[in-house]
Structure 1
Amino acid sequence: MQGFTREPGVRGPLEAVPTAGKRKILRWAATIAIGGFLFGYDTGVVSGALLFITRDFGLTAAQQGSIVSVLLIGAMVGALSAGRVADRLGRRRTLALEGAVFVVGTLVAVSADGYGMLLLARVVLGLAVGGASATVPVYLSEIAPAEIRGRILSANQLMITVGILVSYLVDLAFSGSGDWRAMFAVGLIPGAALTIGTLFLVPESPVWLIRNHRSGEVRELIASVTGEQRADQLIAKFRRTREERQRTSGDGEPQRQGWRALTARSVRPALIVGVTLAVIQQFGGINTIIYYAPTIIQNTGLTASNSIFYSVFIGLINLVMTLVSIRLVDRLGRRKLLLGSLLGMLVTVGLLGLSFVVALPSALSLVFMILYIAAYAAGVGPVFWVLVGEVFPPSARAVGSSASTTVNWLSNFVVSQAFLPLAGAIGQGQTFWLFGVVCLLGLGFVARFVPETKGRDYGAVDADLQSRFGHGPKPEAIRQRG
């Protein structure tokens, strides 16, 4: 696996940016976050399109599952290769390339004449989705001043939820005609926008410019948001910090580079937390709802068009609750949101399963589904992406986040591939109950092993994390350090 070789522990040289500069950075972030929108759109649009693709191509349950899940295989490959490409070409050109791949994959999907060609299109789209999932957060973190980093990093998750909602609305708009090709074709617009926007509207990452010794360009970029006088001071400070952190790791031992950093004993607790949360986020059942919402609702007795219509509410509540989470994550903290989210998911997915087992009215199934999405979007959904950027030590932050993301995509693939066959074998309601078991286990894991990171520097976070794994003083002894 190949991750970003961003300077360990150094997010970016920008800090204390005036208001006018922050507005400019937010505009850049909005353009880059189109990659997150495409992530959401191309993973969500298949939910409604699948109803009509199955009709036109006569797909089996296994083929339906593969049309959904093969995108995730491409996404794993795209995420793993994005780091090498972005280090070589730069973040901006890599994002433009990913936008072009989105366009190519969409064109192949629109012109597909059978199952095989559509499968190929989904692989190509997956490469772009995975690449964007890895590149967008890195770029955003490297341009974000500390004082607005939370909002900027949350923009990616927000745009993912917007993309999912828009995909549902597009599916609804074309459900009357059953034109699944048009559903895919709409994705050409944001794909082209990402390519054009990143090439002409945003600068290269200042971190990448410094690493590649392009001092004149990075000074011009930083001066454009901080002013001439402040630019030289920030560049000098950034270089000093980078050099110091390259010499040693957080515990004073020689720093391990690249993927070898994850083998250090002190890094294992963070790796366990990152990877386990990645598994919990997916095995809690979220993407069975996102991908198969119309199919699930149709099984309650509603028509295809009505199923797509009601799935729009799922996308809307996903968006609204993500906005709520963005406002709360720096107020309540990560642990409270995670625990409350998992508890809500446990209760609602259990009720959703019950609604299918005892054949409750379809309206109740829809209510339970919406409440489940609300619980997920308020915590587990966005907080996972926040924590993987906070629990790893400086020497392993980039590769640790990459490893967690890869496991997230792999878990996503397994669940989406297995859902329809498993539901057919043991029942749809019983399958949802299995997701409830995962939520219950997740509650125990978060309560025992996940530290609070709100308002803490890395030293305090690591002390808490190590103590939870029995490697240091109890959390009470280090609480004041946060």
Structure 2
Amino acid sequence: MVQGFSREPGTEGPLDEVPPAGLRKIRRWASVIALGGFLFGFDTGVVSGALLFIKRDFGLDAAEQGAVVSVLLIGAMAGALGAGRLAERLGRRKALALEGTVFLIGTALAVLAPGFAVLLVARVVLGLAVGAASATVPVYLSEISPPDIRGRVLSANQLMITVGILVAYLINLAFAGSGNWRAMFAVGAVPAVLVVAGAMLLLPESPQWLILHDRPDRARKIIASVTNDATADRLLERARQRRARHAGEESGTAKGTGRRALLAPAVRPALIVGLTLAAVQQFGGINTIIYYAPTIIEQTGLTASNSIFYSVFIGVVNLAMTLVAIHLIDRWGRRRLMLISLTGMGVTLVLLGLSFVAGWGSGMPLVFMLLYIIAYSGGLGPVFWVLVGELFPPAVRSRGSSVSTTTNWASNFVVGQAFLPVVQAIGQGPTFWIFAAVCAGALLFVARFVPETKGRTFEEVDAALRSRFHPHTPAPAR
């Protein structure tokens, strides 16, 4: 669990130290934590169907429709940027509970919105919640995970994001006949209540946070609850030795705060990879499909209700392939999945663009969108959120996750705001070809700079990062 569960070279693996009952407890905790990812997914997906009816009720033009979608991302950027400091001060558990509470407030505002202006405010508040949760959840999951199952545990976040998107699509479909977009938003109150209750009643604090805040006795109690007293003592001693061994280097990263800490030379390779992958995940086009799938399909000649119905298939495929990725991520590794994923995304985006340019009808664009989702959700989708929890040193992990997630939301905002105007300017086909070019560049970046992190301790990940960014510089003595 946490760095306390990280394997030291030459010692027994963490799964030898955590009995089956302890692993079941860790998985239960992960399920509750990942409800924060469900909020992310639900609010991302629900607007795609609701927008078809909001634009009718409020008389929105294309720019206003884009604002309803993308103003959430402004709030999400602010929420993600502040999440690192919040999680450091309050702890991961309390931060997650607070984020669920803010989501409830935003949901109430959206349901009761009398007009466009109040709806925008509601979307900003919702964005604060989902942005902060998207930064908090990977850190929390990372800090309760033994390395051998860390990929699967961290992938629970992406799994719940996809479940949230699918549930949102199904809710949209259920209310499509009546056009009741307020009810679509209202359903989001249910998972928000579960997040608040689960965080306060079922979850422990992260042992890593307790160790970093000089509360080893509480950390020992939590670790012992999933192992035993002797193992807890040994793992805490291991954590103390690690902190002492890296005191010079990590104090160099931690003496400064925020930006200074993350720009320290020891952290820079992790920061570059985190920020680049955060941008690529959005500029590769995923949320143009998630946000605008019904709108894209509607433009091929189908009705609004039929467009929502067919978009449900996208949600089902997204969920199914995420489950496949979870099965493979601790077997094939993060790097291999990303390389395959980016290749598939680039090819399908080229074909999707061609289907619009050549006028292949409503069927082929839907097929290529589904193939694109298969490629994305089987690799880049879950892997990015796993790496956010694995790349950064423990002392700045929450800050690193925060800035990476902020970059992800900022990129999401740019793409969400620009997509419809760009489509109007150059057409759907060329727009998707731009996304394909981004995937090609990302493929080269991953091949050159992103190491494998499967089953590795932070020390091993750090050494691999350094060797890729500075191949002729020997790693520091450990």
Deviation string, structure 1 residues 24-59 (Cα, Å, up to 9, x no partner) = 121111111111111100111000000000010010
Task: Say which SS state the counterpart of residue 113 (structure 2) adopts.
Answer: coil
Alignment CA distance shift 1:294-1:191 (3 Å): same
Distance in 1 (CA, whole Å) between partners of 2:200 and 2:395 is: 31
Partner of residue 217, structure 1: 218
Residue 11 in 1 paired to residue 6 in 2?
A: no
Identity %: 66
Measured in 2, the distance between the counterparts of 1:362 and 1:39 equals 29
Paired residue for 2:418? 418
Tell whether 2:72 aligns with 1:71.
Answer: yes
Aligned-partner Cα distance in 1 for 2:336–2:419: 30
Matched AA of 2:154? L
Give the match's secondary structure for 2:82: helix
- 1:160 aligns to 2:161 (yes or no): yes
SS of the aligned residue for 1:275 comes to helix
Distance 2:146 2:393 in 1: 20
**In the alignment, is the contact (CA less than 8 A) between 2:297 and 2:366 conserved in 1?**
yes
* 1:199 counterpart letter in structure 2: M
Contact 1:11 1:141 in 2 (8 A): no
Q: Secondary structure, in 3 states, of the residue corresponding to 1:144?
A: coil
Q: What is residue 283 of structure 1 aligned with on the other side? A: 283
Q: Is the 8 A contact 2:338 2:380 kept in 1?
A: yes
Between the aligned partners of 1:222 and 1:255, the Cα distance in structure 2 is 25
| Residue in 2 that maps onto 1:231 | 232
Q: What corresponds to 2:310 in structure 1?
A: 310
Q: Taking structure 1 as the reference length, what is the TM-score of the superposition?
A: 0.90
C-alpha contact (below 8 Å) 2:38/2:164 kept by paired residues: yes
Equivalent residue number for residue 9 of structure 2:
none
Partner of 1:353: 353
8 A contact 2:157–2:385 mirrored in 1: no
Question: Which residue pairs with 2:81 in the alignment?
Answer: 80
Tell me if structure 2 keeps the 8 A contact 1:106–1:185. Answer: yes
Q: Which residue does 1:206 correspond to in 2? A: 207
Larger mean Cα displacement after TM superposition, 43-52 or 390-399: 390-399
Aligned equivalent of 2:123: 122
Give 1:231 shift: 2.9
Aligned residue for 2:249, secondary structure, equals coil
Q: TM-score, normalised on structure 2? A: 0.91
User: What is the distance in 1 between the residues matched to 2:89 and 2:431?
Assistant: 44
Measured at CA, do residues 87 and 200 of structure 1 come closer, stay the same or move farther in structure 2, by a change above 3 Å? Answer: same
Q: Letter of the 1:370 partner, please give it.
A: L
Equivalenced residue count is 465
Deviation at 1:253, TM superposition (A): 7.2
Closer, same or farther: CA 441–20 of 1 in aligned 2, 3 Å: same
- Superposition pairs of residues 50-69 of structure 1, within 5 angstroms: 50-69=51-70
CA distance, structure 2, for counterparts of residue 403 and residue 224 of structure 1: 33
1:342 maps to what in 2?
Answer: 342
Contact kept? 1:463, 1:472, Cα under 8 Å:
no
The one-letter amino acid paired with 1:52 is F
Question: Contact between 1:45 and 1:183, CA under 8 Å: does it hold in 2?
Answer: yes
Instruction: Tell me how far apart the structure 2 counterparts of residues 231 and 455 of structure 1 sit (CA, whole Å).
Output: 21
Select between 418-427 and 464-473 the one with higher mean Cα deviation. Answer: 464-473
Q: Partner amino acid for 2:165?
A: I
Q: Which amino acid aligns with 1:111?
A: L
| 3-state secondary structure, aligned to 1:249 | helix
- CA–CA separation in structure 2 for the residues paired with 1:120 and 1:85: 22
1:455: how far off? Answer: 4.0
Provide the residue aligned with 1:6 in structure 2.
none
Question: Which stretch has the larger CA shift, 100-109 or 214-223?
Answer: 214-223
One-letter code aligned to 1:172? L
Distance 1:322 1:308, change over 3 A: same
Q: Post-superposition, which runs of at least 4 consecutive aligned residues in structure 1 deviate over 6 A? A: 252-255
Matching residue of 1:104:
105
Q: Distance in 2 between matches of 1:261 and 1:444?
A: 28
